[in-house]
Structure 1
Amino acid sequence: MERLEALGERWPWFGTALAVHGRVGETNGSSTASAATVQFFVALFPLILVVIAVVGFLSSGDDTIAADIIDGLGLEGTAAQNMQDAIATAQDSRRTASVVGIVGLLWSGLGVTTAVSLAVRTPWQRKVEGLKGKGFGLIWLLGGAVTFGGALGAGALLNRTPDVVPRPVTAAGLILLGVALELGFFLWTFWILGDRRAGWRALLPGAVVGALGFEVLKLVGTVLVPRMVASSSSLYGPLGVVFAVLAWLTIFSRLIVYASALNAVRYEEDHGFTTLEIKAVRFEGEVPVEADRGGAVVDVEPQADHS
């Protein structure tokens, strides 16, 4: 660790990276990211019901939609047949799926906003605001759905050039559009769900890192996830698909935490910090003398014997 710190003093960017990683560790950022991952995953189920309803309504009047979806995902063999059967089922259950899916999506959306708020605020050592926080969370959902959905849509179109996308629109153009939407998503997320007293300029570095990191994650997902879905469905069944989706969501959740931690570290470097006194459980024979940012005791001294 001393060698890493020495390198951090020589290379400021590396020192900032170490500080960001340390901030995430001290504030239990990994656990927070795991909680966000679970909420994202739970929200997928009502979202899938909504998608099933939409696909059911569309495919009921167009027999080519099923083939287009299978070709777009690159599915073959058993995976393709499973998707064909799922679309056929969606046509029969589209009305029920739409009602249940929308209600469930609204309910799980509140859990997602709370988890993302916690992921954004934890590196800043700030609590999530109760009812007020939920209100801002609903506002965040509206803007986040547009920017996040648009970014995913731009990534999905990369697999459809030049069949769907006009020739003047190149892959580079779609990537730039995706990065711009992702930058807007992270800025929107940090501004609405974080502490706005820091100002939007202080949120820009983390938003840039988040956008670039998400673009890489999205491109990897665009190329690899369809293949992973196809191979996982053939080899391991639905469980393999679940593992692939969980891995993607896990990286995405940690990207939010680390990007927010970058903003917190840089803001603290410019504006300083405050030392607070905290409470800790007392044990006989020792005196806590130091705690980390998460409130955990990291150093103790023997209690003096005055007898």
Structure 2
Amino acid sequence: MSWTARLRRLRAEAERRLPVLTEVTSRLLSANLLDAATRLAAQAFLACVPLLFALAAFTPQSVRDQLGASLRALFGLTGPADQQVQQVLSASTDSALRETSGIVGVLITLLSATSFSRAMARVCERAWRLPRAGTRIAAWRWVVWLLTLLLVVLLQGPVRNGFGAGLWLGTPLVFVVSTGVWLWTQHLLLAARVPWPPLLPGALLASAATTTLSLTARLYMPGALNRSLAEYGSLGLVLALLSWLIVLCAAVTFAVTIGAVLAQQPPLSRYLPAEREP
């Protein structure tokens, strides 16, 4: 028997015994997930920067201090990179920034930032092969998801520190919180068209990916950000952050898609009924 025939036979046997692997491979190759992840990262960056300035301009000092602590916990910021962030967060001491921005400007910033929510919703819909939800149904969900995500980022500092207990408690807490966030994210942005149980595999995978990346970010990102800042200035900081966002969004995109496939294929499909809610 030739090698080609043997490979075909092994492939057929694998597809027969493990159809879920075939479906996962097919879904990952056919959905242009890397393109979707790159678009998601770009929208995340375009949403985060103006929102950071808005928070710096209109929130009290205690909120800005908490945001700075959470960003340091997320990226392990030190040195020049940390100084850049602190400079942005202290910008609210200038009343001219508030006058220039205004409440209307903040609302426009928030509405434009929902492009990130829409990109995340498209990732979830492609994972579950669902059509886009109508704007009347989904619009408020985009805003709610974005505001909730801001709150989650704001609380990253104390959660990662285990509320004072340290990483031994903080790391499991981050995983549990992330699982809840990604479970709720899918349910919300899919407009409740998929019940809760089938969303759990994707939530667990996304939580595992983001938790792992957040732990490695504390080791890699401080040096990368400071080197980029020293060599290329603020542009280097942007490039380093955008590169990290691409990796993060790719991990989330793949996790949600693989989770959807696992929930729809045996053996999990027997325990996670995926009938859509009316």
**If the TM-score is normalised by the length of the shorter chain, which range does it land in?**
0.7 to 0.9
Structure 1 position 24 matched with structure 2 position 28: yes
Q: Which has the higher contact order (CA 8 A, sep 6+)?
A: 2
Larger Rg: 1
CA-based RMSD of the aligned residues comes to 3.7
Structure 1 position 58 matched with structure 2 position 58: no
Instruction: Provide closer, same or farther for how the CA distance between residues 128 and 228 of structure 1 changes in structure 2, counting only shifts above 3 A.
Output: same
- How far, CA to CA, are the matches of 1:181 and 1:34 in structure 2? 25
Q: Paired residue for 1:74?
A: 78
**Residue type at the aligned position of 2:169:** G
Q: Deviations over 1:98-119 (max 9, x none)?
A: 6476324312232111111001
Q: Paired residue for 1:150?
A: 155
Whether the 8 Å contact between 2:202 and 2:255 is mirrored in structure 1 is yes
1:26-175 matches, cutoff 5 A: 26-53=30-57, 58=61, 73-76=77-80, 89-92=91-94, 93-96=96-99, 97=101, 99=103, 102-131=106-135, 132-151=137-156, 154-155=159-160, 157=161, 166=164, 169-175=165-171
- How far, CA to CA, are the matches of 2:105 and 2:25 in structure 1? 38
Whether the 8 Å contact between 1:121 and 1:127 is mirrored in structure 2 is yes
Unmatched tracts of structure 2, length 5 or more: 1-6, 271-278
SS in 1 for 2:79: coil
Whether the 8 Å contact between 1:121 and 1:195 is mirrored in structure 2 is no
Q: Paired residue for 2:197?
A: 201
**Residue type at the aligned position of 1:269:** Q
Paired residue for 1:244, among 204, 224, 240?
240
- How far, CA to CA, are the matches of 1:218 and 1:124 in structure 2? 26
Give the structure-1-normalised TM-score. Answer: 0.68
**Stretch moving more, 79-88 or 224-233:** 79-88
Instruction: Provide closer, same or farther for how the CA distance between residues 5 and 252 of structure 1 changes in structure 2, counting only shifts above 3 A.
Output: farther
TM superposition shift of 1:259: 2.0
Q: Paired residue for 1:189?
A: 185
- How far, CA to CA, are the matches of 1:116 and 1:104 in structure 2? 20
Give percent identity, aligned residues only: 25
Instruction: Provide closer, same or farther for how the CA distance between residues 184 and 240 of structure 1 changes in structure 2, counting only shifts above 3 A.
Output: same
Give the structure-2-normalised TM-score. Answer: 0.74
Whether the 8 Å contact between 2:210 and 2:252 is mirrored in structure 1 is no
Unmatched tracts of structure 1, length 5 or more: 159-164, 273-307
SS in 1 for 2:265: helix
Q: Deviations over 1:285-306 (max 9, x none)?
A: xxxxxxxxxxxxxxxxxxxxxx
TM superposition shift of 1:176: 1.2
- How far, CA to CA, are the matches of 1:247 and 1:9 in structure 2? 36
Whether the 8 Å contact between 1:34 and 1:250 is mirrored in structure 2 is yes
SS in 1 for 2:263: helix
Whether the 8 Å contact between 1:113 and 1:137 is mirrored in structure 2 is yes
SS in 1 for 2:155: helix
Whether the 8 Å contact between 2:20 and 2:261 is mirrored in structure 1 is yes
- How far, CA to CA, are the matches of 2:38 and 2:45 in structure 1? 11
Whether the 8 Å contact between 1:233 and 1:240 is mirrored in structure 2 is yes
Whether the 8 Å contact between 2:20 and 2:265 is mirrored in structure 1 is no
Whether the 8 Å contact between 2:72 and 2:82 is mirrored in structure 1 is yes
TM superposition shift of 1:210: 0.5
Whether the 8 Å contact between 2:205 and 2:259 is mirrored in structure 1 is no
Instruction: Provide closer, same or farther for how the CA distance between residues 140 and 4 of structure 1 changes in structure 2, counting only shifts above 3 A.
Output: farther
TM superposition shift of 1:73: 2.5
Instruction: Provide closer, same or farther for how the CA distance between residues 5 and 188 of structure 1 changes in structure 2, counting only shifts above 3 A.
Output: farther
